[in-house]
Amino acid sequence: MVAKRGGGESKVGLVIVLVFSLLANIGLGVGLYMYASADDSKDKKITELEKVKLKNMTDERNWYKFQALLFRTDLGYPPADKDAVAEMGNNKDNFDKGGFGTGQADLKEVTDTVKGLESDKVLGKWNASQKRPTKTLKDVLADTGKEIETLKTNAARAEKDKADAEEKRATAEKALADAQEDMKKKYNDLVDKAKKDQTDDRDAITKLEKDLAQKGQELEKARTAADAEVKKLRGRSPRTRRRSPSRSR
């Protein structure tokens, strides 16, 4: 009997242990389930926040990547990768339409910068088909370099023209001075010649006057002699004048 009681008590104890063990397992399972459920809800919240954060980080990365590729293209050094160029071109089209970069803190600043670069005075309008501005900064610098070289060439030509003009002016001034000196010499020679000719003319006139005076004197003598001869002839007798012809015969 004692043995049997002892056996029954051991079974009851085993049942009790099994019941408590089952209840403990059930309680542990319920606790674990409840913990897992709470943790899963927490994980879902964390996942949503991480998704939003990841999206913001991705958008921000794409935003700055777009700026880097765009400004590299504006500089004249676009990416070599065609996919990167295509991505930048698509983003630029959306950016111009107001559909890219929304929500970024520096959107207005970047927009104003892009508008300033794409003005006609800087790079010109954006060419969507070529995925580049009308001119890149590299093109502008090249054109500026050509303009500078042209200006240098024109300046050098202007300096040479100025030197040539100054040389021609100096030559002309020397020629004018020489001509003036030659004219002055010729004028003085003419004056001297005129004075000499005037002296010679005076001498000739004086000589002519002397010759005329001498001729006048000779003429006067001849006239006096003729008058004397006439008087002499008149003083003869008429007979003598009549005889004279017969004598002649």
Query: For residues 202 and 210, what is the distance between their CA atoms, to the nearest angstrom?
Result: 12
Residue 13 in this model has a pLDDT that exceeds 70: no
Enumerate residues 6+ apart whose C-beta is below 8 A from 77. Answer: 138
- What are the residue ranges of helices labelled H in the chain? 2-75, 82-96, 107-117, 137-234, 238-248
Residue 85 in this model has a pLDDT that exceeds 60: yes
Between residues 229 and 39, the one the model is more confident about: 229
Residue 218's pLDDT is what? 86
Contact between 73 and 132 (Cβ < 8 Å):
yes
Enumerate residues 6+ apart whose C-beta is below 8 A from 84. Answer: 69
Residue 102 in this model has a pLDDT that exceeds 60: yes
Which of 106-110, 178-182, 191-195 comes out lowest in average pLDDT? Answer: 191-195
* Per-residue DSSP letter, 123: T
Residue 36's pLDDT is what? 53
Residue 246's pLDDT is what? 46
Query: For residues 232 and 235, what is the distance between their CA atoms, to the nearest angstrom?
Result: 5
CB atoms within 10 A of CB 249: 4
By the 10 Å C-beta count (0-12 exposed, 13-18 middle, 19+ buried), 118 is classed as: middle
Enumerate residues 6+ apart whose C-beta is below 8 A from 229. Answer: none
On average, the pLDDT of the chain sits at 81
Residue 243's pLDDT is what? 52
Residue 86 in this model has a pLDDT that exceeds 90: yes
Query: For residues 79 and 70, what is the distance between their CA atoms, to the nearest angstrom?
Result: 9
Which of 12-16, 117-121, 188-192, 203-207 comes out lowest in average pLDDT? Answer: 12-16
Residue 9's pLDDT is what? 53
In percent, the amount of the chain with pLDDT more than 70 equals 76
Between residues 19 and 52, the one the model is more confident about: 52
Mind listing the pLDDT tens digit for each residue in 111-141?
999 999 999 999 999 999 999 999 999 999 9
CB atoms within 10 A of CB 94: 14
- Longest Cα–Cα distance of the chain, Å, equals 257
Mean pLDDT of 24-38: 58
